Amino acid sequence: MRILVTGGAGFIGSNVVDGYIREGHDVVVVDNLFTGKKSNLNPKATFYEMDIRSPEIRKIFEREKPEILNHHAAQISVPASVSDPLFDADVNLRGFLNLLENAVSHKTRKVIFIPQEEPFTERRKSIPRLRGICRSLFLLMRYRNSVRSTTLPIIGISTGSNTRS
């Protein structure tokens, strides 16, 4: 299958890419190298150095036509999300929505991602603002799935339980 992995130069994304390539899949990586490293990139994957918020993402969907979107690109620093919540939301919410919009319009069959909410809602109960932002992500995701993309399965994988909407 042709799989687009965002954040494929990061810790989790690069291991996901390696696994897909071992299984014989065709992998495309999008990463802006904000925290990711070129040395993490699998040489067998096609790499685009790009921000997930960019309008240019559309061209990658057009060219590569991914069947699956596996989303791991994220602003993951909790201190950064407290000191600059707008930046955090911009990357983690708007960036994700930009990908979803493209997945819908380019007929991607499935979206897989690790929800951001678990570390905050379950393990970091003392950061209410983040809980709000993370809950918004879920609301937006559900909105997107039910209103805009009824044919696009979105699977969130967490360490507790898997969610499907």
Q: Which residues of this chain interact with ligand NAD, rule CB under 6 A?
A: 7, 9-13, 31-36, 51-53, 72-76, 91, 95, 114, 116
Q: Which is nearer to ligand NAD, 125 or 147 (CB)?
A: 125
Are the C-beta atoms of 104 and 110 separated by less than 8 Å?
no
DSSP code of residue 91: I
The minimum distance between CB 12 and ligand NAD, in angstroms, equals 3
Q: Which is nearer to ligand NAD, 24 or 87 (CB)?
A: 87
Task: Compute the distance between CA of residue 28 and CA of residue 5 in angstroms, rounded to an integer.
Answer: 6
Q: Which is nearer to ligand NAD, 118 or 147 (CB)?
A: 118
Task: Compute the distance between CA of residue 61 and CA of residue 106 in angstroms, rounded to an integer.
Answer: 7
Task: Compute the distance between CA of residue 45 and CA of residue 28 in angstroms, rounded to an integer.
Answer: 5
Q: Which is nearer to ligand NAD, 38 or 150 (CB)?
A: 38
Are the C-beta atoms of 28 and 2 separated by less than 8 Å?
yes
The minimum distance between CB 11 and ligand NAD, in angstroms, equals 4
Element (DSSP H or E) covering residue 47: strand 46-49
The minimum distance between CB 150 and ligand NAD, in angstroms, equals 25
The minimum distance between CB 30 and ligand NAD, in angstroms, equals 6
The minimum distance between CB 80 and ligand NAD, in angstroms, equals 11
Q: Which is nearer to ligand NAD, 70 or 151 (CB)?
A: 70
Helices 57-64 + 95-105 axis angle, to 10: 30
